[in-house]
Chain A
């Protein structure tokens, strides 16, 4: 099966600084990885995804890095803003007809 963990349960950063949220997964055959942002009382919001044939993907202010050798995934948020404060989850899908497995989540707090 698949298990996913987050390295840090909480992360506090100064506004304007860069944030890095990490995630480890266990199944080396995992094929698809997604980062979600969840604000209080709302459903998860898609941020960025990456497939196993890539090691980096960039979006607007966000970058996802995938290191398959050590089974590690990270989300980098540039110039963190107060609106980025939320819980961030990584989700992993094993190759094939399997649903996403979510990590425990990291709460990001942005200090103004």
Chain B
């Protein structure tokens, strides 16, 4: 099946610094990718929809200036957590539908972000 690779798998950073997370579709092109956040023992919450060549669409309550999304190519989307704070510590996961909307979405391995 299609593969989505996410990097890094975990990262620890100091408060106030920025962290970049990469999401790559390895064997297919993804014009759309999704970014989710998952807190312990909770479900996945959609943060934003990343669109290749255009601005991301953010869900209500997600700060677009804090969570910068760039989808510069058909195989790569990046999420940058700017000026990270301890409350940003979470599990961040990306996904991409292999055939566009309405097709099964493959997920990356997730990135565990810990802000100290």
Chain A residues packing against B (C-beta within 8 Å): 31-32, 34, 36, 41-46, 49, 89, 91, 93, 96-97, 99-105
CB distance from A110 to the nearest CB of B (A): 19
Tell me whether A99 and B107 are in contact (CB under 8 A).
no
Name the segment of B11-19, B43-51, B67-75, B79-87 touching the other chain.
Answer: B43-51
B104 close to chain A: CB less than 8 A: yes
Q: How far is the CA of A102 from the CA of B105 in the complex (A)?
A: 12
Q: Closest B-chain residue to A34, C-beta based?
A: B104
B61 close to chain A: CB less than 8 A: no
Chain B residues packing against A (C-beta within 8 Å): 1, 4, 6, 34, 42-46, 49, 91, 93, 95, 101-102, 104-110, 112
Interface residue from A43, A93, A101 paired with B109 (Cβ < 8 Å): A43
Q: How far is the CA of A99 from the CA of B95 in the complex (A)?
A: 10
Tell me whether B102 and A32 are in contact (CB under 8 A).
yes
Q: Which residues of B contact A34 (CB under 8 A)?
A: 104-105
